[in-house]
Amino acid sequence: MSSIRCASCQSQLSDALIRQAGGSVVCPFCHRRTESLILPALYRSALNAPPPLPAAPPAEGEAACFYSPNRKATKSCDHCGVFVSDAWAAQWGTQTVCLKCLEQLRLKVKDQRFESTRTLWDNVALGLAIGPFIVAIGCICTLIGYVFAFIPLMLTLIAAPAAIFVAVRYWNAPRSIAPRGRLRLVLAIVSGLLVITGWTVSVVAIVQHWK
Amino acid sequence: MRKSFDDYTLLAGNYGLRGSLWKGPDHLLVVESKGFIFAYREMYRRIDYKNIQALTLTRTGRHVWWSVLLGLVLTIFTALFIYGLTTSGFDTFTWLMLGLGGVAAIPLSIHLIKGKTCVCSLQTAVLSLRLKPLKREKRARAVLADLNALCRHHQGEMPAESDMTPSVPMMPFTGVKPEWHGSKMVQWAFVLTLLWGVMFASELFVNSVPYFITGIVIALCALAIVIAGLAKAMRHRTQNGLVGLLWANLVTLLLGGLAYYGLFIAGMIMQQTKKLSSDPKATLNWIANLTLKEASWGAWPLIGLGIVTAVLALFGLIIASQRRAQAPAPVSNTPPTMES
């Protein structure tokens, strides 16, 4: 019996039961109606096939795996060209890459097709520039915590220059995988400059007042 | 947000914290985001259409709560607008309430247009992935239908009924939380909240400092256990009734704290205006010895909060006891005895 997970509580639901009920059942754990679209892969999973036996060493004249010389090479890496066995190859879309290349493409080269994670520096800069104000407004809105609004407002003394630094330093860094412009970086710089101007004017005004 | 780039077409989502789903030529690109206020990091998962085993949609009741909340805000502003209109005509207050009511109507309208809420997930042989951008049923159905067609195109026809039995047992998924049916501590949290609710409701009828302090101590203990219970519930799969009641108890306990804070501020103001002596204990004595008559119009919301808290805690206690009774017996981790 295969099973489908409830999207809400992750409990296991029987696929046979779902098929009998026309794709919709009530989850026995969270009591919510769950609708499932069961696909052929559920019954043709790679897990259904027995794992391949350890490959026999390559015969005389046959290509050996570059990383496991006792295995027969079945593929070549589309990136570096070495011969590899099934155990050392990964299918990535239409490409076959060896596991070393895959790691390098994902973590070091940062090829967009293989990339697994990315820091959004434009959002970091914008967060530093206007984040403290949003937190301060949040504190004021809670009525009880309005006194704590002072803390994020004081933080802007450090956050505003930091926002300008991050925006300038990562001006050319890749942004989200879905392409977008530099509006956030520009906003971060403008907001940072405004905050610094505000602080400067306030300090000068206080000093003048004391004199 | 751009609707397409390279070989990808946007299915759902945006640049926000929920991430987005992109339709690729042979795979689905799931963009997951992490951050606070803004998304500071994106994680990318590429799932081949040929490996997707099931697409699941579960309806949730979140839209009801949002409708109630947004409707309540709109009702309050409308009531204040009508009150202003009948008492003083179109003055600044009335216009302000009309404006705020109009602003409150916008999110409610958008919420109602977007329709019912749901959670969706995608299942492969090794993971069950929550599709966070799909949170509205109307949109989710369209996207899932699109994905279903793509997956079927890449996977071919369904096998015959006789071939629908995998030869290996189900593999345990990674990242699936274990079940939790509550604990004795949760039951104690409900007992303490029940006790505090009764004490809070009767506060204005019992004029005693020790009674007041005992109530605060009980409330603090209950708050600590409720927070601990919620923290545990977050790390487990729990049935909705129990978690909902824990949240409700947390809210009522915090509202009680807010009421104490309000009374404390009132006491401070009375000290400033010389209505109370400047002795630090005077405020405490004043709050503890507050009577129904002195509390005036504020008495009934306080009594009401106490009753609501007690009723919710009672429900919680019943549900927690039921859930614990329904919990499956713990599996013994002692190996079976060796056969001779």
The model's pLDDT over B2-53, given as tens digits with 9 standing for 90+, comes to 888 888 999 998 888 889 999 988 889 999 999 888 899 999 998 989 889 9
Taking Cα atoms as reference points, which of A50, A51, A16, A53 lies closest to residue A36? Answer: A16
Q: Would you place residue B167 in the very low, low, confident or very high pLDDT band (cuts 50, 70, 90)? A: very low
Region A36-52: mean pLDDT is 72
What is the per-residue pLDDT across B170-228, written as a single tens digit (0 to 9) for each?
Answer: 555 555 677 777 888 888 999 999 999 999 999 888 888 889 999 999 999 999 999 99
Considering only alpha carbons, which residue of chain A is nearest residue B25? Answer: A93
Q: Measured between alpha carbons, how far is A118 from B26 in angstroms, rounded to an integer?
A: 22
Q: Where are the beta strands (DSSP E) in chain B?
A: 4-5, 8-13, 20-23, 27-36, 38-48, 54-59, 118-123, 128-130
pLDDT at residue B173, rounded to an integer? 54
pLDDT at residue A27, rounded to an integer? 86
pTM check: above 0.80: no
Classify residue B37 as exposed, middle or buried by CB count within 10 Å of its CB (0-12, 13-18, 19+): middle
Of B50, B60, B168, Cβ closest to residue A47: B168
pLDDT at residue A73, rounded to an integer? 85
Q: Which residues pair with B46 in a beta bridge?
A: B29
Q: Measured between alpha carbons, how far is A146 from B271 in angstroms, rounded to an integer?
A: 22
Cβ separation of A37 and B55 shorter than 8 Å?
yes
Q: Measured between alpha carbons, how far is B49 from B150 in angstroms, rounded to an integer?
A: 7
Which of A54-63, A165-174, B311-320 shows the lowest mean pLDDT across its residues? A54-63
Q: Which residues of A touch B46 (CB under 8 A)?
A: 93
pLDDT surpasses 70 at A15 = yes
Considering only alpha carbons, which residue of chain B is nearest residue A178? Answer: B5
Q: Measured between alpha carbons, how far is B233 from B319 in angstroms, rounded to an integer?
A: 15
Which of A177, A182, A183, A185 to mutate: most B Cβ within 10 Å? A177
Please check whether residue B14 touches A, CB under 8 A. Answer: no
Region A187-196: mean pLDDT is 94
Three-state secondary-structure class, residue B27: strand
Q: Would you place residue A129 in the very low, low, confident or very high pLDDT band (cuts 50, 70, 90)? A: very high
Region A59-78: mean pLDDT is 85
Which of B164, B240, B260 to mutate: most A Cβ within 10 Å? B164
Region A76-92: mean pLDDT is 86
Region B126-140: mean pLDDT is 91
Question: Which sign, positive or negative, has the C-alpha torsion B43, B46, B51, B56?
Answer: positive
Residues of A (110-139) whose Cβ lies below 8 Å from B: 112, 115-120, 123-124, 126-127, 131, 134-135
Three-state secondary-structure class, residue A85: coil
pLDDT surpasses 70 at B339 = no
Quote the mean pLDDT of chain B: 86
